[in-house]
Structure 1
């Protein structure tokens, strides 16, 4: 079965990047408006990137014969469960609370926030596929180890998609949100 996903490949529109030119990424940590809440939010993004990379790397280790089936299944259950639950919670909070706060502060960027919200919806489809494939691989590790390799290959392919999706989405989200926060001294 061929899974297709809607994943935005185009850059954030230039008009959504005007504050980023004024507040470039390398200056964020030194800005007086860069508060602990923003550091925590960026830390969550780092965690998502690490979890997705860990899932992909574990798949490669299993496929290369460097990891046992049981260890793979245990790590997949742990890392995959954390990735899915935390992404859903994080994106739900952003859509209901964080993005409305940014919009109220500077509605010029509503089009960019709408793109990011659509990313959240699109990522849900990928996460659903990942969840089904991961659960199948976990079951096969115990019941039909001979079939695990193919299932792990499908999980690995989906993990690569998630990793690429997160790289695009989280980078754009950070580049849009943090300059708004700094400019308007939000979340302090």
Structure 2
């Protein structure tokens, strides 16, 4: 069995690609069972990727001193908060409602479901660190602005980790889920 840990996966494990091979990603938008709800779900994934990228880029701009304290804390509070809140809500919905529906539709989803649920547990820990370090920067803006640069360097590690995690997890999740939806005519 392929290593299923998100940090070492290089894509959806081949044993989980049966339906993906039959329905490659580039055929999804034109597929007759590709519903608006699937496009919306994938749009949410793209939003998460974009928010993670913006947070990382703004942190880099701040560290490089091309963004000032106020602009950085506003950006971090706005985009970092949006990323964390929306990810928590999105994954709670997936775990409680969406994934059980897919699991009932196709037994082949079971192993993938376990992989995705393990990813979600890891994501919760990553988001907790991201939130804690991001909040520390925002607090320092009021308490000790001179310490913000050093904290931002540590936060940058979390921003990079979040972006990489989301890139792998969301792509693998889509590659597993969308072919099942298309094959079983779900969510139409």
TM-score by length of 2: 0.95
Partner of 2:8: 9
Question: Runs of 4 or more off by more than 3 Å in structure 1?
Answer: none
The whole-number CA distance in structure 1 between the counterparts of 2:127 and 2:15 is 30
Gaps of 5+ in 1: 1-5
Question: Following TM superposition, by how much is the alpha carbon of 1:174 offset from its aligned partner in structure 2, in angstroms?
Answer: 0.2
Matched-pair contact (CA < 8 Å) for 2:77–2:138: yes
Question: Following TM superposition, by how much is the alpha carbon of 1:7 offset from its aligned partner in structure 2, in angstroms?
Answer: 4.4
The whole-number CA distance in structure 2 between the counterparts of 1:19 and 1:117 is 20
The whole-number CA distance in structure 2 between the counterparts of 1:150 and 1:7 is 29
The whole-number CA distance in structure 1 between the counterparts of 2:16 and 2:185 is 18
The whole-number CA distance in structure 2 between the counterparts of 1:117 and 1:98 is 12
Partner of 1:104: 104
The whole-number CA distance in structure 1 between the counterparts of 2:109 and 2:96 is 16
Partner of 2:85: 85
The alpha-carbon distance between structure 1 residues 22 and 114, as it changes in their structure 2 partners (threshold 3 A), is: same
Within-5 A mapping of 1:27-42: 27-42=27-42
**May I ask how many residue pairs the two structures share in their alignment?**
183
The whole-number CA distance in structure 1 between the counterparts of 2:110 and 2:12 is 12
2:29 aligned counterpart, secondary structure:
helix
TM-score by length of 1: 0.95
Gaps of 5+ in 2: none
Q: Tell me the C-alpha RMSD between the 2 structures.
A: 1.0
Partner of 1:180: 180
The whole-number CA distance in structure 2 between the counterparts of 1:59 and 1:85 is 19
Question: What does the per-residue CA deviation read over 1:39-98, in whole Å, with 9 as the maximum and x for residues that have no partner?
Answer: 000000000000000000000100111101011001101111111110000000000111
Q: Does 1:64 align with 2:64?
A: yes
1:103 aligned counterpart, secondary structure:
helix
The whole-number CA distance in structure 2 between the counterparts of 1:30 and 1:7 is 29
2:28 aligned counterpart, secondary structure:
helix
Matched-pair contact (CA < 8 Å) for 1:8–1:119: no
Matched-pair contact (CA < 8 Å) for 2:60–2:156: yes
1:29 aligned counterpart, secondary structure:
coil
Partner of 1:48: 48
The whole-number CA distance in structure 1 between the counterparts of 2:85 and 2:40 is 17
